Chain A
Amino acid sequence: MTTNTQATAKSSALLSVLFVALLGGTILFVAGHAQSAALHDAAHDVRHATGFPCH
C-alpha cells in the first residue's frame, strides 16, 4: 500500500516535471526559434542577443 502510494507520488512528480519541461521548451521554441515573420521581427534583437540562429 505504502509502496503503491510512493510510486503514485513519484510518477505524478515525474509527470509535473515533464509538463513544466515541455512548457519551457515550447516557449523557448516559439520565442526563440519559430520562423514566422511577425515573431521573428518582434523577437529579433533578443534572438541575436541570446545567440540563437536567427536569419
Chain B
Amino acid sequence: MIQRMVTSALIAGFVAGLLAALLHFAFVQQYILLGEQYESGALTHFDAAHSTSDHGAMTAPSEGDDHAAQSHDDDAGEASPLVRNSLTVVFAGLIYVAYALLLTAGFGLAQSFGIAITAREGLLWGIAGFVSFQLAPALGLAPELPGTIAADLTARQIWWWGTALATGTGLALLAYGRGYLVWGAAVLLLAAPHIIGAPLPDGFWGVAPPEVGAMFSARVLGTALVVWAVLGWLAGRLWSQENT
C-alpha cells in the first residue's frame, strides 16, 4: 500500500510542481525580483512616488527592472539566473510532492473509514488543501514579498503549521463528521488560529510600494489555487484507478 501511495503522490506532485514553476515564472517571479530591488536599494519607493504623474510612478520601477536586477546579481556574486530558476523548479517539485504525499495519506485515511475517493473528491480535497496550506495561513501571514517586515521567524513558522493543521482537520470534520458537536469543534478549529492571531511585527516600515506587495500576494494565492486544484484532481484520479 505504501508503494502505491508514494508512486501516485510522486506523479501527481511532480506534475503539480512543474505547473507551479511555470505559473511562478509567468506571474510571480517578476514581483520577487522587483521586491528585491527595493530591498537592496536599487529602487526606492518614494523616488517613484515623486514622479510627475501617476502613470509615471507605475511604469518607472518596471523600466529599470532588468538592468538593476542584473547589476545586483553581478555585484553580489549571487547564483546565476539559470541556477536560481533551476532551483525554483526543483523546490517547487519537492514542495508539491510533499503536499501530494499529505493528500494521498488523507485519501488512505478516508478509505479506511469507507470513503471512496475519485477525481471529483480529489478536486475538492485539493481546494481544501489550498485553503489549509495557503489561504488560511495567508489570512494572518500574507505571502511575503522579499523585504517585507515581519515578526520573529520561528513564531511565524509555528503559527503557520498550527494554522494548516487546524484548518485541514477542521475542514475534514466539517465535511465528513456527523453531529453538531463535531461540526462545532470543526468551526472552533477553523477559527482558533485567527482568534489567537498570527505573530505580527511591532510596526511597518517596508521599503517596497504596497502595490507591489499586494500584486505579489494576490498572484501567489491565485496561482496556488490553480496548482492545488490540478494536484487534487490528478491525485484523486490516480488513487481511484489504483484502488479499483
Contact = CB atoms under 8 A, between A and B. Distances in A.
A49 B109 contact: no
A50 B224 contact: yes
Interface in B109-168: 109, 111-112, 134, 137-138, 141-146, 150, 153, 156-157, 160-161
A45 B88 contact: yes
A48 B144 contact: yes
Contacts of A49: 24, 28-29, 32, 88, 92, 143, 220, 223
A10 B108 CA distance: 10
Contact of B91 (A31, A35, A51, A54): A31
B111 A13 contact: yes
Contact of B5 (A10, A16, A45): A16
A17 B157 CA distance: 25
A8 interface: no
B1 A24 contact: no
B92 A46 contact: yes
Interface residues of B, number: 50
A16 B137 CA distance: 28
Nearest to A24: B101
Interface size class of A (residues with CB under 8 A): 20 to 34
A42 B9 contact: no
Nearest to A23: B101
Given A20-B9, A53-B153, A48 B98 contact: no
Nearest to B111: A13
Most buried by B among A26, A42, A46, A49: A49
A15 to B, nearest CB: 8
Contacts of A25: 98, 102
Interface of B: 1-2, 5-6, 9, 24, 28-29, 32, 79, 84, 87-88, 90-92, 94-95, 97-102, 104-106, 108-109, 111-112, 134, 137-138, 141-146, 150, 153, 156-157, 160-161, 220-221, 223-224
Given A27-B95, A27-B101, A31-B91, 5 more contacts: A17-B108, A24-B100, A27-B97, A46-B87, A53-B141
